């Protein structure tokens, strides 16, 4: 009852807005990832349903426990990584094994804080270069779609630009709404009606995970790293910058358990959010900071309701041209790409290492069956370490000899 007295109209409105922005801005990325993983329409609907449900349940639990606007999201950079990766030899089942691996690693990080500190010691330019390399391929998709389906993509891009002029957070919702309008005038309504006749609630289609050491290393580990570097660490930082407690071990344990339990159904990993957290940490979520946790809780309720639309969303994505869906996903990732590139090359004395990480991760190469994201991290880390040691030696040798007469 005490918690209910903290509920305000401002928190309700901001929670609803945050859920709409969070879902509309990134569902296309998740669907593109599921398609790249080799999921059928039923499996994609199942994955979207459980990802949205896990996100909603965590958004309900954590804010009430922490009394902070602990915003939860699915791993957008992780989905981008999967969307830009080649389908694994074992198909969707092998991808599920990689998702489960990621969930286990997130949970272990919550149980062993030293692991989280180790991940936090990865040089930020290297981590951002890895993220930028993962995002690049999808960020090229809007231009490619513009060349292949200009009549469909031009209105979407124009709406996105108008949204940016109005408010950065309005860009993607406006683009998604424009996509829906465009499709309303271009799709085969008879085929669409038959597709939607199956109902709104998705038919759950579980699959058997396949655990392959190579895919666990080349997909599961990079998926964990981009989720930590691209989502969890910025999410913690937003809470702390707004003077809210970031109970990292607890948050990682809760999101790790949710990711692990939902991964067998094809759900993306669940993590802390930076963008929606920034929305719900501000005064628009309520004049009293103590009561702003309700905004995150309301977003959780909204996500649970949005989960029921997974079947319709999956059908819509099936009806729409693939290039259009991937193009929408690419538009959503452009701000993240720009931010990660800016941070990757922020240290003038260390440009080669992040450049090598970025190019290797973006190349799509594989070596010994292991993806370029992993090798980019290894190669960039080695160059960073070697150059750091060289700079220290050069600095030490350039010091004046105090003992010299």
Residues 104-138 have pLDDT tens digits of 999 999 999 888 788 778 888 888 888 888 888 88
| Residue spans of beta strands (DSSP E) within 100-165 | none
pLDDT per position as a tens digit, 199-244: 556 667 778 899 999 889 889 998 998 898 888 888 888 888 888 9
CB 160 within 8 A of CB 175: yes
What is the share, in percent, of the chain residues with pLDDT greater than 90?
A: 30
Q: What mean pLDDT comes out for the span 61-75?
A: 91
Show the tokens assigned to 151: 């009549």
| Structure-model confidence comparison of residues 403 and 101, the more confident one | 101
DSSP state of 172: H
SS (H, E, C) 277-324: HHHHHCHHHCCCHHHCHHHHHHHHHHHHHHHHHHHHHHHHHHHCCHHH
Distance in angstroms (rounded) separating the CA atoms of residues 82 and 281? 30
- Give the angle subtended at the CA of 325 by the CAs of 230 and 143, to the nearest 5°: 80
pLDDT of residue 258: 96
Residue where the block lists tokens 């159904």 = 265
CB 269 within 8 A of CB 74: yes
CB 299 within 8 A of CB 21: no
Confidence bin at 398 (pLDDT 50/70/90): low
Show the tokens assigned to 125: 């330019």
Show the tokens assigned to 17: 């807005």
* Cα atoms in the Cβ-side hemisphere of radius 13 Å centred on 388: 9
pLDDT over 90 (residue 72): yes
Collect all residues with Cβ–Cβ distance below 8 Å to 120 and sequence separation of at least 6: 233
pLDDT over 60 (residue 195): no
Nearest to 136 by CA among 317, 381, 341: 341
Show the tokens assigned to 6: 């903290």
Nearest to 109 by CA among 242, 240, 269: 269
What are the beta bridge partners of residue 367? Answer: 370
CB 287 within 8 A of CB 10: yes
| Structure-model confidence comparison of residues 27 and 109, the more confident one | 109
Distance in angstroms (rounded) separating the CA atoms of residues 286 and 280? 9
Collect all residues with Cβ–Cβ distance below 8 Å to 392 and sequence separation of at least 6: none
Judged on CB neighbours under 10 Å (0-12, 13-18, 19+), 192 is middle
Stretch (H or E) spanning 23: helix 9-36
pLDDT per position as a tens digit, 317-330: 777 787 888 888 88
Please write down the long-range contacts of 341-344, taking CB distance under 8 Å and 24 or more positions apart: 341/128, 341/132, 343/124, 343/125, 343/128, 344/125, 344/126, 344/128, 344/129, 344/132
> Strands 270-272 and 72-74, how do they pair?
antiparallel
CB-based burial, 65-86: b 16+ in 10 Å, e otherwise = ebbbbbbbbbbbbbbbbbbbbe
């Amino acid at each position: 009852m005490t918690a209910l007295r903290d509920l305000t109209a401002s928190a309700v409105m901001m929670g609803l807005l945050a859920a709409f922005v969070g879902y509309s801005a990134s569902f296309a990325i998740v669907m593109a990832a599921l398609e790249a993983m080799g999921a059928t329409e039923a499996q994609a609907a199942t994955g979207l349903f459980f990802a949205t449900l896990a996100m909603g349940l965590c958004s309900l639990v954590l804010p009430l426990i922490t009394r902070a606007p602990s915003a939860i999201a699915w791993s957008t950079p992780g989905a981008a990584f999967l969307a830009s990766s080649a389908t694994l030899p074992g198909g969707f089942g092998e991808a599920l094994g990689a998702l489960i691996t990621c969930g286990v690693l997130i949970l272990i990080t919550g149980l062993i804080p030293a692991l989280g500190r180790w991940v936090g010691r990865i040089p930020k330019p290297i981590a951002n270069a890895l993220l930028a390399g993962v995002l690049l391929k999808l960020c090229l998709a809007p231009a490619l779609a513009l060349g292949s389906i200009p009549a469909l993509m031009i209105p979407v891009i124009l709406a996105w630009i108008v949204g940016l002029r109005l408010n950065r957070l309005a860009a993607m919702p406006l683009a998604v709404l424009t996509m829906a309008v465009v499709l309303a005038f271009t799709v085969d309504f008879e085929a669409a009606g038959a597709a939607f006749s199956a109902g709104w609630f998705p038919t759950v289609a579980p699959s058997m995970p396949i655990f392959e050491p190579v895919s666990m290393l080349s997909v599961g580990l990079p998926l964990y790293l981009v989720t930590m570097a691209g989502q969890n660490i910025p999410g913690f930082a937003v809470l702390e910058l707004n003077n809210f407690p970031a109970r990292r071990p607890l948050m990682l344990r809760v999101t790790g358990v949710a990711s692990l339990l939902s991964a067998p159904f094809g759900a993306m990993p669940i993590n802390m959010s930076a963008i929606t957290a920034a929305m719900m940490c501000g005064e628009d979520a309520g004049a009293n900071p103590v009561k702003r946790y309700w905004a995150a809780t309301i977003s959780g309720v909204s996500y649970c309701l949005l989960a029921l639309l997974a079947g319709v969303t999956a059908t819509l994505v099936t009806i729409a041209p693939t290039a259009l869906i991937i193009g929408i996903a690419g538009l959503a990732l452009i701000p993240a790409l720009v931010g990660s590139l800016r941070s990757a090359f922020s240290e003038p004395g260390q440009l080669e290492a992040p450049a090598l990480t970025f190019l290797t991760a973006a190349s799509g190469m594989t070596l010994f069956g292991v993806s370029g994201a992993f090798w980019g991290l290894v190669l960039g880390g080695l160059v960073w370490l070697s150059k750091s040691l060289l700079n220290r030696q050069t600095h030490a040798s350039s010091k004046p000899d105090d003992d010299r007469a």
